[in-house]
Chains A and B, each alone.
Chain A
Amino acid sequence: MAKQINPTRMELTRLKRRLKTAARGHKLLKDKQNGMTKQFMEQIRRNRELRNKVESELAEAARQFSAASSAMGEKELGEALLLPSGEIGVSGGSKNIMSVSVPTLSSDGSLSASLPYGFADTSYELDTATLTMTKLFPTLLQLAECEKTCDMLASEIEKTRRRVNALEHVMIPEMERNIKFITMKLEDNERQNITRLMKVKDVINSR
């Protein structure tokens, strides 16, 4: 608040320096926000496409799976899938998008398209469902990576937007008000001094 600050030249210099830093920070944060928004829009479009693809293929796999379940019986289905088809090889790293560390995933292709059961007691639908899921897995990884990136970018954009707004609508106007208050106060003091000096001069001249 303007009334709580010291109207001194030192305070004025300090406030001017702070205002300069705040304006620079505001510009940088605004640029960061714009950059992140651009990246976010690209990612969210990709997210939507991947989601639609995964959901339709998963629905197809689920349909094949339920057909297999009704053809074989739940117990036999459970027995056939008791042993997993193999260990999934996924490498995870991270990359930097506008100082936000987001995950990167890659499948090392170690999961073979082989079926983990014998063909004697299993149905054709189960083979199709299993192979569909195996083929879908790399897309699922892409979706996981993309969705997490979108979640993280959305949170970071929201945080940055709040900071930008706080600087733009609270801090910078307040500093400008304080600078104006101190400048006016100092000018007022200057005028008082001049008036005092003129008075003194008049008193001296009148003697």
Chain B
Amino acid sequence: MTAKKLKAAVIGPKSVAALYGAAGVAVFEPPADISTPKLISKLYNDGYGIIFIAEKVYKDCEEAVKKYLTDPYPIIIPVPDEYSDGSYSKERIAANIKKAIGSDLI
């Protein structure tokens, strides 16, 4: 596949998103009028291939995000917010290992 230009976005509360905004990532706050999965779908249609989502927001739309699992894009990954203690990302890695191998060997 030929390389294509991608845009990056972050969905999260102001406190988290401002950090990424400083690095040049487009910032979107969790919408009040539409659901987060709809916002993700809209962003993907607008050419955002990489979407970082604050952990707390990601947990609420985890099931909806699974439909993008079969395609390489969009890449949707949770990023830590002010409430995270690092356990969620470890849980996700452990869940992936369990899914692939059957038990968490590492």
Does more than half of chain B's interface fall in helix, strand or loop, or is it mixed? Answer: mixed
Contacting residue for B49 out of A65, A77, A90, A157, CB 8 A: A90
Contacts of B20 on A, CB cut-off 8 Å? 133
Q: How many angstroms from the CA of A11 to the CA of B20 in the assembled complex?
A: 65
Q: How many angstroms from the CA of A78 to the CA of B17 in the assembled complex?
A: 11
Q: How many angstroms from the CA of A93 to the CA of B76 in the assembled complex?
A: 16
Q: How many angstroms from the CA of A30 to the CA of B8 in the assembled complex?
A: 37
Contacts of B1 on A, CB cut-off 8 Å? 93-94, 101
Inter-chain contact B5/A89, CB cutoff 8 Å = yes
Contacts of B19 on A, CB cut-off 8 Å? 58, 61-62, 65, 129, 133
Contacts of A36 on B, CB cut-off 8 Å? 100
Given A55-B86, A93-B4, A145-B75 in contact, is the A86-B93 Cβ separation under 8 Å?
no
Contacting residue for B72 out of A37, A81, A84, A148, CB 8 A: A148
How many A-B contacts at CB < 8 Å in the complex?
Answer: 140
Inter-chain contact A103/B22, CB cutoff 8 Å = no
Contacts of B80 on A, CB cut-off 8 Å? 55, 58-59
Given A87-B24, A148-B77 in contact, is the A94-B86 Cβ separation under 8 Å?
no
Q: How many angstroms from the CA of A92 to the CA of B77 in the assembled complex?
A: 16
Inter-chain contact A85/B99, CB cutoff 8 Å = no
Inter-chain contact B73/A103, CB cutoff 8 Å = yes
Inter-chain contact A92/B24, CB cutoff 8 Å = no
Is A137 at the interface (CB under 8 A from chain B)? yes
Shortest B71–chain A CB gap in Å is 8
Q: How many angstroms from the CA of A45 to the CA of B5 in the assembled complex?
A: 28
Contacting residue for A44 out of B4, B73, B106, CB 8 A: B106
Contacting residue for A81 out of B21, B50, B77, B97, CB 8 A: B21
Is A12 at the interface (CB under 8 A from chain B)? no
> Known contacts A62-B82, A91-B6; can you find 10 more A-B pairs with CB under 8 A?
A61-B19, A81-B18, A85-B22, A92-B6, A94-B72, A116-B22, A130-B22, A143-B77, A152-B70, A158-B99
Can you list 6 pairs linking A and B with CB atoms under 8 Å apart?
A86-B24, A88-B8, A105-B50, A133-B19, A140-B79, A154-B100
